[in-house]
Structure 1
């Protein structure tokens, strides 16, 4: 990754970088992380710009992680809103019950109106 980012080499494929391996696994639909030889075979057609391909693999993983984090935050926000709505509904029901006049009990011998 040093040669890729700091030295500006255009044809570097960091086969040992976990982010690049995960990106290749994700984008190519592989069941397992690719080994270095498999990565070399896949990236053969990228020459002489394998650095750009490696960057895209790395970026794909980063973007997926950000999307998952955003989804977790949205889910938590929805859960908090739902909880607040339930609490407000319970409070409103309690207030309505307390504001209603008490039901009158029938006395013995009274008929319904």
Structure 2
């Protein structure tokens, strides 16, 4: 989880893509998945990550991480850019272990404004 967050901070969309599980809902459209990850890296300035909980899944190859992340939207222009404010969301992410690596499958977000 932390390595994916660091990749988003650094704009390393390739790492985020490489650590996404084939069962991810967008995995059947790799170009769309790549574009989505790249757009997120380009438009959001992540500021902070807090891991809230880590839970085991149904077996040793599934796990859940609940985290909170803070960010600013880097794409704001005009009046919005002058009033940038930090936004935050909480996500419960599901990971599957494959080939010794934990890969992101999906997550449920709760946005806070």
Larger radius of gyration: 1
TM over 0.5: no
Higher helix share: 1
TM interval, short-chain normalised: under 0.3
TM-score computed with the length of structure 1 as normaliser: 0.25
Q: TM-score, normalised by structure 2?
A: 0.25
Q: Quick check: which one's strand share is greater? A: 2
